[in-house]
Amino acid sequence: MNHPTSILSEMQNTFHPSVQSQEKDPSQPSKTRYFVRLTLWTLVLVGITISGQGQQVNLQQVLNESKQNYPLLKAKQAEVTSAQRRVKSANTEYLPNVIIQDQYTYATNNSVTGSYYPNEGTAISPSGGIRPDNIYQGVFGSFTTALLEWKIINFGKVTANVQAARNEMARSQLEYENELFQQQIRVIDSYLLLLISQKLVTVQRSNLERARIFREVVASGVSSGMRPGVDSSLANAEYTKAQLLLLESQRNEKAQRLRLSELTGNLQDSLAVDSMSFYTKLPIIPAGASSIQNNPLLRLYQAQTSAAEARSIAVRRSFRPSISFLAAGWARGSGVSNKDDSYRTDFASGVNYQVYNYMIGISTRWNLTSIFKVHNDYQSEKAQLQRYQELYNDQSLKLNRQFRESEMQFALTLDQARLAPVQLNAARRAMNQARARYESGLTDLPTVMQSLLTLNRAEVDQYVAISNAWRSLLLQAAATGDLSLFLNQLN
């Protein structure tokens, strides 16, 4: 596509002669109006084309857009926020429990000597005098309490729960960082694939143009009787094949553009990317890329191991007792007088407090039989801890293999990228020689067609080799977990 400035210059060159001719020949106003209208319509069409294509975005802009908009990353961020809240929730266990309640009742107050089991708190506790006969006349009553229970000594149970929550928060944060890193790798790789797809479309357009010109040359030779008719059929077949290759490359380009726009979180058909310096230079072997310990995926597995270990400690300490400081105060009112047992059925007599009490003390609570449940839960968490340790070892093994493989691939793809221009120059010379020999009648058409195929393959190989070199560098950055190894070479 021509640059907009050059298009406007061509329009100005077309418009100015019209003005000059108007000055020289005032008798032709219709011709001038025609050129003015043509220029205005051209400007409108160019504006529509430019606005439809949109501004090109570079790799960093695409990465930033993906980080801000991609739904999966937002989900991971929400998970981190949730984990932060769980840490705050765990810290509230240090605070005392303060419970207040106020109730008004209408009930009888018959009672009898003896004990009963409260049935987990669901049994009603009547309070009243012991009489030989039941009185079924209800009276109003009131009861207000305030209770403070503070676990001042818990033998490390709360501390273990808080630490487990913090380790889980760290795991969530590293899971987000790993997902962000993997997303950036996917975006960069998709960016490179879109660039190579665009280059291949350009290659296939050039190939189609060569096939068209060659078909015309062959058709001219056949029509003059200098070439057999089969040459025209073969040239038409080669031209059709070139059309198919162009359509296939365009399909791949559109599919890759959709894939990249999907990774940005904003699906669109007209995403235009900047080729930057990817096809003007080759990457160099990075210095200092020799460790995988900072890989976000490996750090995530390490965080999962730490979280499992913290959970096992919290489970083990849950068996320990708690020592609580207690303080309470309560007041009661009743329609039955505490002085002479007289009955008053009005509401005011029942809600007025008659007695007041308070209590302070120390309480120790220890569920001894919970040791069996705690033991099994602890062994379960220990098994999970071993599982995460082995998963860490497995991932470390895979990343070490990927790192060594990426080093090997990067060295080989650099060699291929350096050899690709040699192949391309040879293919171009072969094409020119074959065409000249064919036009001179010294060779047959299949030889020329083979040279066309070789040239097309060499052009494709050159761009693919350059792209593979950059993608191999990206693979090395992915293995080490250091994206700067790739991005720093674009500056």
Q: pLDDT digits over 35-68, tens only?
A: 444 444 444 444 444 444 457 899 999 999 999 9
Strands (E), 81-159: 97-107, 139-153
pLDDT at 156 over 70: yes
Question: How far apart, in whole angstroms, are the C-alpha atoms of residue 186 and residue 260?
Answer: 9
Report residue 183's pLDDT band, with 50, 70 and 90 as the boundaries.
very high
Report residue 289's pLDDT band, with 50, 70 and 90 as the boundaries.
low
- With vertex at residue 239, the alpha carbon angle to CA 237 and CA 240, rounded to the nearest 5 degrees, is 65
The mean pLDDT value of the chain amounts to 87
Determine the average pLDDT of the residues in 21-35: 41
Report residue 124's pLDDT band, with 50, 70 and 90 as the boundaries.
confident
pLDDT on residue 465: 97
Q: Return all residues near 78 (Cβ < 8 A) that are at least 6 apart.
A: none
Report residue 121's pLDDT band, with 50, 70 and 90 as the boundaries.
low
- With vertex at residue 446, the alpha carbon angle to CA 441 and CA 449, rounded to the nearest 5 degrees, is 100
CA proximity to 364, closest of 151, 96, 157: 151
Structure tokens at 102: 């106020």
pLDDT on residue 27: 40
Question: How far apart, in whole angstroms, are the C-alpha atoms of residue 405 and residue 387?
Answer: 27
pTM exceeds 0.85, yes or no? no
Q: What is the pLDDT of residues 205-246, one digit of tens each?
A: 999 999 999 999 899 888 888 888 898 999 999 999 999 999
Helices (H), 27-70: 29-53, 59-69
Structure tokens at 490: 């674009």
CB 138 within 8 A of CB 108: yes
pLDDT at 13 over 50: no
Q: Between 290 and 326, whose confidence is greater?
A: 326
pLDDT on residue 255: 96
Torsion of CA 57, 59, 65, 68, to 10 degrees: -160
Point out the least confidently predicted range of 180-194, 355-369, 376-390, 432-446.
432-446
Structure tokens at 138: 């209800």
pLDDT at 29 over 80: no
pLDDT at 4 over 80: no
Structure tokens at 312: 């096992």
**Angle, in degrees to the nearest 10, between helices 296-317 and 371-439:** 170
Structure tokens at 290: 């020799």
CA proximity to 474, closest of 200, 302, 289: 289
Question: How far apart, in whole angstroms, are the C-alpha atoms of residue 184 and residue 489?
Answer: 16
